[in-house]
Structure 1
Amino acid sequence: MWDTSKDYRILVANHAREQYLNIIQTASFRGNWNKKLAIETAKNMNSDFQSLSYSYLEGDDLVNSPDVAAIIEKGEKIVECLGGDGWNKSFISNAPKEDKEKTIENVAKVRFFIDSVLGLKDRLALGPINDPIIGIDIKVGEIMSVTKHPNADSLMICNVNLGKRAITVVTNDLNVKEGNSVGVSLLPPQSFMETTSEGMFLGMDGNILKEVEGNLGEMPKGIPMDSLNETRNLVEAFLK
């Protein structure tokens, strides 16, 4: 039986919702958006997640359940409440200079929540997998640029192309180069010395995998299982 109460995909998406509510109620986002409805809609997701967590449905019955559909529908509504397509760029461009980096971090966390919700059906379609890594997306990326972190000699800032969008990843591997093909875990964003990282490169022993196989923006192929260990740990830490 598929124990949905312990499914990492559902747990991560719901925890991201709670983080989103903490941010959206306190952050001073500037722009044309409906804060009240953006909060109310996310709060109304709670009953959908509770029902889904204890549905004990399996297979297509779970994937196509009314609860999953309701969560995704509310996620799409939240995007409209935030300002529709380009909401994230609007919030960042309207932020005062002194609040820019904190706004970038908060926007990244909001986007993580939205991605977790809108991608929930596709993740559940992979079947009953009891592994923390199933709670987030792992994609093939191409490093487009690398710069030294302005506040930390031991860190590098990478602009990474995921096909449909680009993200920023902060890494402690000083040997990363433009053109490296990497595996990226799209983890809950974190700020490292005032620079927000939206994911983590797969790797082992302090070195990232730099020749990952697979299509850009899709799941990598043939990666060592050990390269996922840190991702597992960070997903578990997020849920705690």
Structure 2
Amino acid sequence: MWDTSRDYRFKVADKSISLFLKAVESGSLRGQWNKKLAVQMADEIKKVLQSLIYSYLEPKELTSAPEMRLIKEKGENIIEALGGEGWAELFLKEAEDKEKTEENIARIKFFLNTILKLKERIMLGKILDPIIGVDVVVGEVMSSTKHPRANRLQICNVNIGDRSIKVVTNDLKVKMGDHVAVVLLPPQNFMGITSEGMFLGTEGVLRNVKGEIGGLPKNIPLESLNEARKIVEKFIEGK
């Protein structure tokens, strides 16, 4: 019997709902969208998650449970409520405070990625590790520029297969074309720039990571995951 109440995949998913609600209630998302429906769907996802958290089902049973299909369907309903596939661009177009809007868009994207890919993480089996609650993928750095307000930080646009994300790093050696291991984390604001993840590394960023773009990185040092584990645990604890 698998102790689903201790499964970090469910813990992160549950906490991501609060992050989503904080974003949609912020007042920075302007335009024509169905806020009431988005909030309703998020509340319903939370209820379904709670039933799974205390189900004590084996991972294989969880992946075939009707609740998993419900979670995905309600996540897709939220996308429609936000304005469809191009919802983020619509919010940016109407933004009065671009930096705040970008931060809240990143929060919503983290929530949606966490919810919509929950089944894929569960399929990885019995793993009791904070890192399993988020995605670790291979990315390709598409551009790297200096942070406008911090000389010791760089802003990288990173292709992770199905989309691109923004990562703020203090490793100034990261450059266009580098293949990196990226962990998708709850967004963090660095002096006006929102970072959607963190590059993995021990003494500097790993810049020649093997694996397909968007897939799991191969043969990365296990110790490179330590900082990400701490961040995930703090997120769950609400810190």
User: The TM-score by the shorter chain falls in which range?
Assistant: over 0.9
Instruction: Select the residue among 113, 121, 124 that pairs with 1:123.
Output: 121
Alpha-carbon distance between aligned partners in 2 of 1:152 and 1:140, rounded to the nearest angstrom:
26
Q: Residues 25 and 39 of structure 1 are in contact (CA less than 8 Å); yes or no, is this contact kept in structure 2? A: no
Q: Partner residue of 1:213? A: 210
Output the amino acid matched with 1:125: M
> Please, which runs of 5 or more residues in structure 2 have no aligned partner?
none
Q: Partner residue of 1:226? A: 223
Q: Residues 201 and 224 of structure 2 are in contact (CA less than 8 Å); yes or no, is this contact kept in structure 1? A: yes
Aligned residues: 237
Deviation at 1:225, TM superposition (A): 0.2
C-alpha root-mean-square deviation of aligned residues, in Å? 0.9
Percent of matched pairs sharing the same residue: 54
Instruction: Select the residue among 144, 147, 162 that pairs with 1:164.
Output: 162
Deviation at 1:174, TM superposition (A): 1.1
Asked whether 1:74 is paired with 2:74, we answer yes
Alpha-carbon distance between aligned partners in 2 of 1:82 and 1:168, rounded to the nearest angstrom:
21
Deviation at 1:73, TM superposition (A): 1.2
Q: Residues 141 and 216 of structure 1 are in contact (CA less than 8 Å); yes or no, is this contact kept in structure 2? A: yes
Structure-1-length-normalised TM-score:
0.96
Deviation at 1:71, TM superposition (A): 1.3
- 1:81-105 C-alpha deviation (Å, 9 max, x unpaired): 1011010111112102xx1000000
Structure-2-length-normalised TM-score:
0.97
SS at match of 1:189: strand
Q: Residues 157 and 167 of structure 2 are in contact (CA less than 8 Å); yes or no, is this contact kept in structure 1? A: yes
SS at match of 1:153: strand
Q: Partner residue of 1:146? A: 144
SS at match of 1:26: coil
Q: Residues 60 and 125 of structure 2 are in contact (CA less than 8 Å); yes or no, is this contact kept in structure 1? A: no
Asked whether 1:44 is paired with 2:50, we answer no
Asked whether 1:13 is paired with 2:13, we answer yes
Alpha-carbon distance between aligned partners in 2 of 1:89 and 1:135, rounded to the nearest angstrom:
27
SS at match of 1:116: helix
What does 1:58-207 correspond to in 2, within 5 Å? 58-96=58-96, 99-205=97-203, 207=204
